[in-house]
Amino acid sequence: MPQDLNHLESVALSELSRIETPGELEEWRVRYLGKKSALTAALRSLGTLPPDERRALGARANDVKKNLQSRFDAKQQAVSVSSIGQSIGVAPLDVTLPGRPFPMGRLHPITRVIQEICAVFARMGFQVIEGPEVEKDYYNFEALNIPQDHPARDMFATLWLDQKDDSTARLLRTHTSPMQVRIMETHKPPLRFVVPGRTYRYEATDATHDWMFHQVEGLAVDIDITLRDLKETLFEFCRSVFGRDTGVRFRCDYFPFVEPGGEVAIECFQCKSSGCRLCGGTGWLEILGTGMVHPDVLARCGIDPTVYSGFAFGMGVERITILRYGVDDIRHFYSGDFRFLRQF
């Protein structure tokens, strides 16, 4: 056995010294260091030997393997350098040439618009915070004046994670409005916050709807806040994002957690209010719901509604991005099509 190992080592090193190409070197590695090599077979057969012989031959076999491996590594480096030199000799390398340009990454259009929206409100004194996407029934519904038997629950096609039996049941939040309650529970007026984040609803997709979308929630609570403050804040937002020439429409709407409630719509960029497929023939695209915070919501959070008032709003980021960039289908944003994303 020792003589066999010595002979194997000698033959292997002799062959290694004559190798000049990477292909020959790989064949040598497989033959002498691979799983089916003679050296590996010798190491596996040690278990059949007496303990004294096994110890001595095992040490010798390991020494041979380490030696062959180290010589192989050195030869591999030498062959690599030689191959590069041969390549340069055939096709000289011009080190003055510029490097190959690699495409630079950029922000997704949704991320870009979220940052722009938050920056607009930050200039008006609003802080930016985030909240959990897995929410409790209490924060998503009950604390916002939507108890178990309230018909407004039908407005939200909810993705539940637990059984819908009590206020501790978990769900994927259907809107960012739960953060209104969380903020008012942990902070005292005056309050000015915006909350960007993902929301989820179990519904069919079309050109303007998807099962996952982004919202930016806003909340302001202080003494003597009025509906006029709400409208001026949102008008300033629309002017900053869409320009002063874009038509803006306020209309009454119903949300259980605000009173009075309303919606804000932007003039359809595609048809200029004449009606088309994108706007459903109305000429307008709704971008946010808004209203004055309901007194019951304030009281439930420990804020005296006879002293303080406030307004809240929640806007769809995808709708705003559609308006900003002239995209005709919300599904393009999450298709993974680089031809679409490279336009931004």
Q: In this structure, are residues 250 and 151 in contact, taking their beta carbons and an 8 Å threshold?
A: no
The pLDDT of residue 86: 65
The pLDDT of residue 328: 79
CB atoms within 10 A of CB 236: 14
CB atoms within 10 A of CB 205: 14
Q: How far apart are CA 117 and CA 315, in angstroms?
A: 10
User: Is the bond preceding 260 in cis, omega lying within 30 degrees of 0?
Assistant: yes
Q: How far apart are CA 165 and CA 148, in angstroms?
A: 9
- Answering whether pTM is above 0.95, one says no
Q: How far apart are CA 261 and CA 259, in angstroms?
A: 5
Q: Which residues of 92-116 are buried (b: 16+ CB within 10 A; e: fewer)?
A: eeeeeeeeeeeeeeeeebbeebbee
Averaged over successive runs of 10 residues, the pLDDT of the chain (344 residues) comes to 73 84 84 79 72 74 83 84 67 77 85 93 93 90 85 80 80 91 90 94 81 92 93 90 83 89 83 72 84 92 92 90 82 86 84
Q: In this structure, are residues 286 and 319 in contact, taking their beta carbons and an 8 Å threshold?
A: yes
Contacts of 186 (CB under 8 A, 6+ apart): none
Q: What are phi and psi of 264, to 5 degrees?
A: -120, 130
CB atoms within 10 A of CB 186: 8
Which sequence spans correspond to the domains of the chain?
Answer: 2-90, 109-341
Residue from 290, 264, 268 nearest 194 by CA? 290
Q: What are phi and psi of 218, to 5 degrees?
A: -130, 145
Tell me which DSSP letter residue 18 carries.
Answer: T
Selected from 3.30.930.10, 3.30.70.380, 3.40.50.800, 3.30.1490.20, the CATH number assigned to the domain covering 109-341 reads 3.30.930.10
